[in-house]
Amino acid sequence: MRIAAAAGATALAMLTFAAPASAAARAGDICMWSQRDYKGASWCWNPGNGYVDVPPALHDNVGSFRAEAAGCFINWIRPGSQKETRVVRNGDYRRVYDNDFGGRIDAVAPRC
């Protein structure tokens, strides 16, 4: 799993994660932020990573996301057995997601 910190001159440089890489979405990634409008702590996932639990700062706490890959957002109702999912398509984005599934997300996977 990769935890991305912001690069460049954006306000995203003020992040809570200490990690390499860029918060700017690379082609093929799904990136999510802890706050609305693509701000706050950020993290990007790539389908090649397979199933990944989202980092603690984003657990049940995704304020916005941008997808340049298809994937599946997962909320575990009973961990390991019962889950609620949202299909994500390449090109999907939500500037405000904390009032929706972003407030429940636990993990990302290549498919639902």
Enter the tokens of residue 72.
């599946």
Of 13 and 77, CB closest to Ca ion: 77
Q: Does 104 bind Ca ion (CB under 5 A)?
A: yes
Q: Does 75 bind Ca ion (CB under 5 A)?
A: yes
d(CA 98, CA 106): 13
Question: Given the structure tokens 């993290």, which residue do they identify?
Answer: 43
Cβ neighbours around 50 below 10 Å, total: 11
Window contacting Ca ion (CB under 5 A); options: 5-13, 49-57, 59-67, 90-98: 59-67
Q: Does 84 bind Ca ion (CB under 5 A)?
A: no
Q: Does 106 bind Ca ion (CB under 5 A)?
A: yes
Identify the bridge partners of residue 84 per DSSP, sorted by sequence position: 75
Q: Does 39 bind Ca ion (CB under 5 A)?
A: no
Q: Is 35 exposed, middle or buried (0-12, 13-18, 19+ CB in 10 A)?
A: middle
Pick from 5, 92, 86, 89: nearest CA to 43: 5
Kindly determine how many residues on this chain lie close enough to bind Ca ion according to the rule CB under 5 A: 4
Least separation in angstroms between residue 75's CB and Ca ion is: 4
Of 44 and 54, CB closest to Ca ion: 54
Q: Does 53 bind Ca ion (CB under 5 A)?
A: no
For Ca ion, the binding residues (CB under 5 A) are: 60, 75, 104, 106
